[in-house]
Copies of this chain bind each other. A is one copy, B any other.
Amino acid sequence: MRIVLFGTGNLATRLGIALNTTDAEIVQVFGRTEANTAQLADILNCPYTISLEEINLDADIYILAITDDSIAEVVSKLLIQDQLVVHTAGSVSMNVLSPSVKNQGVFYPLQTLSKNKEVNFKTIPICIEANNTASLEKLDALASSLSDQVIRVDSAQRKRLHLAAVFVCNFVNHFYSIGEKLLNEQQLDFDLLKPLILETANKAMLFSPPDIQTGPAIRGSKTIMDLHFKMLEGHPEWQKLYKMVSNDIVVNRNPSTNHSGI
């Protein structure tokens, strides 16, 4: 399978590296800036262009790993006829590719990716969607060459997955940031929280999260919550967050579970 890869960010980089381990061939990389595009092309050992007019028209799949807002614009400038064009965005409908593209699809890896962090694509759920069976099968073959977990979802389901991912990844990481800052303010090392962060994630692999909720909120320890609220006096936004999340933990309490621990 011959592929043109659009984008030079985290996803384009990680996806390109993963594709290079399969039978697929990246025949071209497209990016906006010379420096970034040349750099990725060098990593992937393939040709590149920064001009949409020079896109290789002789590929099987065109993968748009670009920012959500630029998908429609880039697609409108492509001269693709019958080949498959897919975007990789969690919360953008497939029909953003219409009417320019006949065979359209979505290829959405449900994972947080960074240029400078290796990742095992085999374990990443890849959500695929296409507007006809032949395209879906083509996408399925490509996705299955990368991952053991390929799932077919429609745009509504994909948006729901992305919304959930914002909570369990982006928002979770922000709470890691808050934890780090709270410790650094007192010259305590963030490393001290790392076993706790890992164990919390590992427990979610084995149990339904509401069943293993621990902490002052679920225990109803008003004394501790009041103390923590007071300790956050220098951070009014975190005070509001503390109160709001604690309340939400109580509201969503599973009454049949014994909650204690941290």
Residues of A within 8 A of B (CB): 9-11, 67-69, 90-91, 110-115, 117, 119, 123-125, 149, 151, 153, 156-157, 159-183, 185-186, 188, 190, 192-210, 212-219, 221, 223-224, 227-228, 231-232, 237-238, 240-242, 244-245, 247-249, 251-252, 258, 260-262
Contacts and interface: CB of A to CB of B under 8 A. Distances in A.
Nearest to A221: B68
Nearest to A229: B163
A174 B245 contact: yes
A193 B69 contact: no
Chain A contact residues: over half helix, strand or loop, or mixed? helix
A220 B253 CA distance: 33
Copies in the complex: 2
A76 B167 CA distance: 45
A202 to B, nearest CB: 8
30 contacts: A9-B261, A11-B260, A11-B261, A67-B260, A68-B221, A111-B199, A111-B262, A112-B196, A112-B203, A114-B203, A114-B207, A157-B186, A160-B185, A160-B231, A161-B193, A163-B182, A163-B231, A166-B242, A168-B197, A170-B214, A170-B216, A171-B245, A172-B176, A172-B200, A173-B209, A177-B213, A181-B252, A190-B208, A197-B205, A240-B244
